[in-house]
Structure 1
Amino acid sequence: MLGAKSDGASAGAAGGGTPAGMQMPAPEVGFIVVHPTSAPIVEEVAGRTAASAVAEIRPQVGGIIEKRVFEEGSRVNAGDVLYRIDARSYQATLDAAKADLERYEASVPSAQAKFDRYQELANVNGVSKQDIDEARSALLQAKAAVASAASAVRTAEINLGYTEVKAPISGLIGRSSVTEGALVTAGQATALATIRQIDPIYVDLSASSTSMSRMRQAIERDGVTAGKEGPRVTLKLDDNTVYEEVGHIISTEANVDETTDTVTLRSSFANSKMLLLPGMYMRAAVEIGTEDNVFLLPQRAVTRTVTGQATAYFLTPDNKVEARVLNADRAYGFDWVVEKDVADGDRLIVEGVQKIRPGMEVKSSEVELGANGLVKPKAAAAAPANTTP
């Protein structure tokens, strides 16, 4: 019988079972110590870029296009000459107006002298009152003719200036709709070209009415600080990189679109490198404000059930596993933002989660998380310098 028992025990050990009186070693886990911090409240929305100013170039005088000065698709500055219209007829009109002005100006001195002479003769009854009135009228008419001629000169100068079609704003100019030699008319329906100002550039964001409600509720919550310049906006480009400039909301549409149930938020961005062009589709993150006294739990440490319930595992003072159900419905980077059910100094298990269950005793070591959310061993504290001689 004793031999049989010995053989049975040997067989059990050979089969890989745990020998009697021995326990499995405690699983090893890595943890981080969590502390309250601040986190931005962000709402994800979509939108499209739009020029901050658009100018359709139309001639203000008619004539033949002598020269197109700009390069299509180039950047132009306000005041740059874009087209030159044949100016000969406008120069002739200006010359004639100046000649008329000189002629009318020459008539004023004689009219003035005649009126002054009649005034002197009136003192000795040497001229009738009617003659004086006629002299006064002639003087006033001469001065009025001078004013009218001066106005004609200014008009002719303006029209001559309009033969140089200039850019009213700075921006990118598109293709020209006319060529040299084309006949254009003042105020014609077809624009010669279009300039779009894209620095700064607008991004019109479409936020659902539900998103707007969440934003308002977030701003009104205790512990939330709104930015002084209004909500900050960051953009994500097509290649998934984040646009280097940060924008701000500058206006909000006063009504909800009945078709799409959305509200348009207009944001403005610097665009000196011209990376953004009008019409581009964008994903944007609107930072409504900053919430204090929240905890950032790494997403790798939070598991979810099939119903979406979030659970994280913490260490008790006696190194046992404690499971907590959390309200983690807002993400920030690689973390979940949690407002309650976590305390300052709690030890959150971030490595080895798949090997544990609630109540299990574990062997733990503190680790660090990199900026990408990956675990790395916690760096040892530097030893104090030895000052002993």
Structure 2
Amino acid sequence: MKAKYKFALVSIAISSALLSGCKTGDIATKTAQAPSVETVTLTETKITPYHTFIGRTEAVNDVDIMPRVGGELTAIHFKDGDMVEKGQLLFEIDDRPYKAALAYAKASLQKAKAQLVQTTRDAERVKKLIKDKSISEQQYDDAIAAHAAAIASVEEAKATLVSARLDLEFSSVRAPFSGRVGFSNFRVGDRISKIQLVPLVSITQIDPIRFGFDVDEKLYRRVRSAIDVAHRNDDKLDVDLTLTLSDGSLYPLDGKIYAVGNKIDLETGSIRAEAQFDNPTYALMPGEYGNLTIKLRNKTIDGLLIPSAAVQQDQAGDYVMVVGDDHVVSRRNVGLGQTYGVKRAVLTGLAANEKVIVNGLQKVRPGATVKDVELQSEQG
């Protein structure tokens, strides 16, 4: 009886060993036969956070040049599309009527001054005569009133002279600032009116140039410190402000935050901000789309980076394929941050030391067994 019992125990032990060996063999066989994929093992690394905003370039100044006096247009001193300097003569309006008006105003002032001299003498005279009752009170009042009127006439003549000088000055239309002119709406010989609604020409200042963008209210809460530092930091020692143009090229000059709005727009839920860039070669034109990047140089955080090639998308969003210790593939939905070269920052969904498939994704699906080959160590 004891012999049979021992034999049974030995049989069970042998069977268990054989079964265990079969399972191990099966796993080894499955792994050996599984498709090969290349993976990276995630490790934390120091990354510099940055924020990118979509916006459009805007002119610092953009005005329509309107005439302030009327008359015949006698000369145009620019070509359409020219760059002009502040104070440069653009148009001339027939100034002969204004020269005549100026001469008349000067003469009127001299006449008023002469009249004032006379009435001043008369006023002094009647002041003495009234004491002796040599004149009537009416004569006295008339002389004093004439003197006061003469004083007012001088002031009126002075104002008329100033107005005449301005009208003559306005007959020469000059650029209010340096910039690029558009197309003239008038030609030499046209009649100009100071109450017309059509501008003579428009002029746009493009050096420096602004870049307007909107910051979502929630994002503004996160990036406010970066924007504030960029706004205050004129020498840009700690802040990089770069502009990427619509064709993907990087504008060669750094900018600075020029202004930030003082309230959240209730309709859009965003706050307005503007950056400013020097534009000495006029490479930037108002109305261009671009991406503004704000980066604090001295601020780093611990984060995970994965190759962009590892990221896939479907209706559920971004995801990657992860290989477990048992060589089985699983899907992992991820939240992604900014791009760093060919890599993306991972915000949610992954942890350090996990293996992410980079190459061979077309060979696998969740639940499949794979043979993974380490591609590289995931360092910044």
Q: State the TM-score, normalizing by the size of structure 2.
A: 0.69
Instruction: Tell whether 2:228 aligns with 1:218.
Output: no
Instruction: Tell whether 2:316 aligns with 1:309.
Output: no
In the aligned structure 2, how far is the partner of 1:268 from the partner of 1:361?
A: 48
In the aligned structure 1, how far is the partner of 2:376 from the partner of 2:116?
A: 105
Contact 1:61 1:162 in 2 (8 A): yes
Counting only pairs closer than 5 Å after superposition, residues 1-389 of structure 1 correspond to structure 2 as: 34-45=43-54, 47-205=55-213, 212=216, 214-216=218-220, 218-219=222-223, 227-229=228-230, 234-244=242-252, 245-248=254-257, 250-252=259-261, 254-255=264-265, 257=267, 263=270, 265-270=272-277, 271-280=279-288, 282-285=289-292, 287=294, 292-299=300-307, 302=310, 304=312, 308-311=318-321, 327-333=334-340, 334-338=342-346, 342=351
More helix by share: 2
In the aligned structure 2, how far is the partner of 1:122 from the partner of 1:61?
A: 51
- What's the CA shift string for 1:141-170, capped at 9, x where partnerless? 222222111211111111111110122233
- What's the CA shift string for 1:47-86, capped at 9, x where partnerless? 3333232211111111111110122211223322211111
SS of residue in 2 equivalent to 1:309: strand
Match of 1:12 in 2: none
In the aligned structure 1, how far is the partner of 2:273 from the partner of 2:376?
A: 49
Contact 1:38 1:292 in 2 (8 A): yes
In the aligned structure 1, how far is the partner of 2:70 from the partner of 2:219?
A: 54
Offset, 1:359: 10
Contact 2:320 2:357 in 1 (8 A): no
> Match of 1:39, as an amino acid?
T
- What's the CA shift string for 1:314-339, capped at 9, x where partnerless? 9x9xxx99999584411322222235
- What's the CA shift string for 1:191-222, capped at 9, x where partnerless? 11001122233334466xxxx255146348xx
> Match of 1:243, as an amino acid?
Y
> Match of 1:158, as an amino acid?
L
Contact 2:42 2:356 in 1 (8 A): no
Offset, 1:312: 5.9
Greater shift, 241-250 or 129-138, is seen at 241-250
SS of residue in 2 equivalent to 1:132: helix
In the aligned structure 2, how far is the partner of 1:158 from the partner of 1:360?
A: 87
Contact 2:93 2:172 in 1 (8 A): yes
Contact 1:176 1:193 in 2 (8 A): yes
Contact 1:303 1:310 in 2 (8 A): yes
Can you give the 5+ residue segments of structure 2 that lack an aligned partner in the other structure? 1-31, 232-238
RMSD: 4.2
Offset, 1:265: 3.5
Contact 2:45 2:379 in 1 (8 A): no
Contact 1:302 1:312 in 2 (8 A): no
In the aligned structure 2, how far is the partner of 1:361 from the partner of 1:174?
A: 64
In the aligned structure 1, how far is the partner of 2:313 from the partner of 2:163?
A: 79
Offset, 1:352: 8.1
SS of residue in 1 equivalent to 2:48: strand
In the aligned structure 2, how far is the partner of 1:309 from the partner of 1:349?
A: 10
Contact 1:303 1:312 in 2 (8 A): no
In the aligned structure 1, how far is the partner of 2:321 from the partner of 2:108?
A: 92
SS of residue in 2 equivalent to 1:329: strand
Offset, 1:42: 2.4
Contact 1:32 1:349 in 2 (8 A): yes
- Evaluate the alpha carbon distance shift between residue 262 and residue 32 of structure 1 in structure 2; reply closer, same or farther with a 3 A threshold: same
Can you give the 5+ residue segments of structure 1 that lack an aligned partner in the other structure? 1-22, 370-389
Aligned residues: 327
- Evaluate the alpha carbon distance shift between residue 283 and residue 38 of structure 1 in structure 2; reply closer, same or farther with a 3 A threshold: same
> Match of 2:255, as an amino acid?
V
**Percent sequence identity over aligned pairs:** 22
Match of 2:9 in 1: none
Match of 2:15 in 1: none
